[in-house]
Structure 1
Amino acid sequence: MGNSASWPVRRIAGKEYGRRVSKLPNLHVAVLMGGWANERPVSLMSGEGVAKALEARGHRVTRIDMERDIALRLHEAAPDVVFNALHGVPGEDGTVQGMMDLMGVPYTHSGLATSVIAIDKELTKHALVPHGIPMPGGRIVKSADLFEADPLDRPYVLKPVNEGSSVGVAIVTEESNYGNPIRRDAEGPWQQFSSLLAEPYIRGRELTTAVLGGKDGPRALTVTELVPKSGFYDFNAKYTDGMTEHVCPAKVPDAIARLCLDYALKAHELLGCRGTSRSDFRWDDEQGEDGLFLLETNTQPGMTPLSLVPEQAKHCGIEYGELVETIIEDALIHFGKLEGSA
């Protein structure tokens, strides 16, 4: 990081801070986590990791497990900035972002409009595909219609339109035990959601690329291949230790790696992401470059010990605490609260 004399005086919200070893001056950071989405346990792990890293670097931290009185609690805490460690609805879909915009509270990660679009897989396609980013075809279907006939030729994928972390994803094959057509009593996302996104199943390999913002603009980090032991990278495979092998960097041809980096950075910029994002891909290695498809862009990727963004950052020489501070720095620059440069 350099010695204490290497950092200029900063000014946060009109207050001047002296030089210190850390990239940022001492801040009061509210870490927003938890909530009531399906991804609550992941959010709590992300938030605690962020909070501990910030405290280790000299910042004052207020942990907030989001409840319905969140606006009042943020007002009472009066932080310099909020680190948004929420996942899913309502912390990742623009709801919390709009509230903090109205309150005038600076916060990390993407803003309202970007969050609304990126969490909706169909809206994401409308935003990215016209700009040359390949994504699977498909359509929105009513869950009740699945019990009458398949919406696509098997194999196909069914997933919620606006959930993350592979919550509620089902792969429907000829061999699946869902029935043909799908039985009403079969366990699957059709029991939780009234409508689903149906997409053709893309055979092959699971790849992901993180993008990290900062004062010099966003950059794509690297490509990781995910090899789940169960054969399917679902919620349990993502967040259960030992269930998925992370190959970082991925052992893929240079042309595929470059495409992943290019598509992830382009998606980040087209959607207007801030802080960090992570784009997930499927690659049919029998089809070469034509077999690479972006599945979704996550605007608030996990920060747990098993999460991919910290892993890719570390591969690029960015330790966890520096990663957290870089995300905060990007937010403060966006909201005009940071003067000076490192």
Structure 2
Amino acid sequence: MTSTTVDERARTYSAHGRPFWRRALLTREAAIIGILLLVIVVSLATVRNFDSPLTVTYLLRDIAPILLIALPMTLIIITEEIDLSVASIVGLSSVTVGVLTQAGWPFEVAALAAIVVGLVAGAINGFLVTVVGLPSLAVTIGTLALFRGIAVGLLGTEAVTEFPETWTDLAKANIPGTPLPLIMIPFAVLAIVFAVLLHLTPFGRSLYAIGLNKEAAQFSGIDVARTKFVLFVLSGTVSGFAGVYFTLLYSNARGENAMGMELQIIAAVLLGGVSIFGGRGALHGVIAGVLLIGTLGSALRLAGVTSDIINVITGVLLVLSVVSASLLAWLQSRRAASLGKRRGARSAASAATV
């Protein structure tokens, strides 16, 4: 009887041995949400005009592309891969829609073609990573330069600024009666789809399995290559859509559009609790991470802080998020080892008693 009880206790996951409130609240995601709320409260109390509806509107407009691309990026990083080419895909899709519109194509067709360009770019990344077997870091550094070079080569130093007013006005419009930009509707739809996909489906569970142990996932029947290929295609497609929105928002198609945005996206994803080593993360934490970086940046700009200082603060947040994740993993491994030793000692004592 004693031996059976010990065995059952040994099979219990330590994380689920804690009370539910601790599992729900004592997490990195909850901490990021708490910090976000604190930044909002402090900014409302100390920063002039931060409480203006226009501040909310411009903040959400500016971070909308980051929010959109952070969704597939979360899934990619959970599988222990990365996509550094997303901002270049935004620029390439922006140039595509600009060039085609300038050539007389209907805007709707040009926008669809730009999204397809994003899909193809994502498929190229996926092919090189999953079929050729190259590391995603090396591949996407290369395609970052490739896609950006194509975008700049198509337009050079020129810019396309003439787009149908109906579409540019729509990109800048708000949800009626609110300060929320209209782009938040497609974002909310995509966020729900990605959240369900990640947290409530076997496909989502397979992503965590791949991130924790790719070989074990393969032996358990998960098609690792196909799964990663799908993720890179999703990343490229969403980046293409973000490029169309970016172009309409600023009425400007240039090869340099969104340059450097990939660093903001990755910083927000890691800050939101996704482990760079794969196998861990949640979308609500990532969304909170994007909002935290955006809100902090908006408050600092209103307070007169220069963009260079804001970039330094963002970099510090990124470093702290990675360091804290590593420190937390080390503490958890130490605790698990200590718990295992205690259980072994109890098992030995029980066996001696029997």
Same fold by TM-score greater than 0.5: no
Q: Flag the structure with higher strand content.
A: 1
Which is bigger in relative contact order (C-alpha 8 A, separation at least 6)?
2
Which bin holds the TM-score, normalised by the shorter protein?
under 0.3
TM norm structure 2? 0.25
- Who wins on radius of gyration, i.e. which is larger? 2
Larger relative helix fraction: 2
Q: TM-score with structure 1 length normalisation? A: 0.26
